[in-house]
């Protein structure tokens, strides 16, 4: 379950009801979850705790899907999908793999995303997008001049602005999804201590001396 309450249809702000209707039909998503893409849909019901935040997020979705955008949508989706992978958000990564397929992006390239650095299937422009997205997400915006100069040689300033905005927007969504445990990110952290066998002596293992004084 997500870490915040899900807002049922009866308690949702009226501004949210059209989104609930679009995604869930006549169902109450807090009681009858499920979306067409196979998620539970609790991202929406959790965001509904702040109607303004949900409206702001929905405006972001409308922004990047607008026909006014200059950036090739497949390149935009590459940045968003890498944001999901690099942040460890199974939700964002999974959803944008689906979006890439919806754009008829080759399956070979989708499969190769986790190892794009050594994959040979990407074009030079795709590799630039992935390298930039990696610097935005993993390196928190530390972009070397040489990489940015290469971007400017291939993309307009408007395209770079759009790529920067949509990639970092999905860095935010990935982080929030993991923190709130929504959708496919509702899972325990795999990094936990594995207990030592019974009888294990940590001091002996480290070569310590029990008689030694500090």
**Segment 184-209 mean pLDDT:** 87
171, pLDDT greater than 80: yes
pLDDT at 203: 82
Q: How many CB atoms lie within 10 A of CB 124?
A: 9
**Segment 140-158 mean pLDDT:** 98
Domain-wise residue ranges, the chain = 1-68, 69-186
**Segment 71-90 mean pLDDT:** 98
31, pLDDT greater than 60: yes
Give me the DSSP letters along 52-81. HHHHHHHHHHHHHHSTT--S-HHHHHHHHH
Mean pLDDT of the chain: 95
**Segment 186-201 mean pLDDT:** 92
**Segment 78-102 mean pLDDT:** 98
Q: How many CB atoms lie within 10 A of CB 169?
A: 18
pLDDT at 204: 80
pLDDT-derived band of residue 207, with 50, 70 and 90 as boundaries?
A: confident
51, pLDDT greater than 60: yes
pLDDT at 124: 97
CATH class of 69-186: mainly alpha
176, pLDDT greater than 80: yes
* pLDDT tens per residue across span 60-77: 999 999 999 999 999 999
Give me the DSSP letters along 179-201. HHT-GGG-S--S--PPPPPTT--
pLDDT at 202: 83
Tokens of 208: 């310590």
């Amino acid at each position: 379950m997500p870490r915040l309450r899900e807002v049922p249809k009866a308690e949702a702000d009226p501004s949210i009801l059209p989104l609930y209707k679009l995604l869930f039909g006549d169902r109450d998503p807090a009681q009858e979850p499920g979306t067409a893409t196979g998620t539970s849909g609790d991202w929406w019901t959790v965001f509904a705790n702040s109607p303004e935040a949900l409206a702001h997020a929905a405006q972001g979705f409308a922004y990047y899907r607008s026909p006014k955008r200059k950036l090739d949508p497949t390149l935009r989706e590459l940045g968003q999908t890498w944001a999901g992978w690099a942040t460890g958000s199974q939700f964002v990564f999974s959803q944008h793999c689906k979006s890439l397929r919806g754009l008829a992006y080759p399956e070979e390239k989708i499969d190769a995303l986790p190892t794009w650095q050594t994959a040979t299937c990407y074009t030079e422009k795709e590799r630039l997008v992935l390298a930039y997205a990696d610097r935005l997400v993993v390196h928190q915006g530390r972009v070397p001049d040489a990489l940015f100069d290469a971007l400017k040689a291939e993309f307009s300033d408007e395209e770079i602005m759009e790529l920067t905005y949509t990639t970092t927007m999905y860095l935010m969504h990935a982080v929030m999804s993991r923190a709130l445990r929504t959708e496919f990110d509702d899972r325990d952290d795999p990094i936990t201590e594995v207990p030592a066998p019974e009888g294990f002596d940590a001091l002996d293992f480290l070569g310590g001396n029990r008689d030694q004084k500090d």
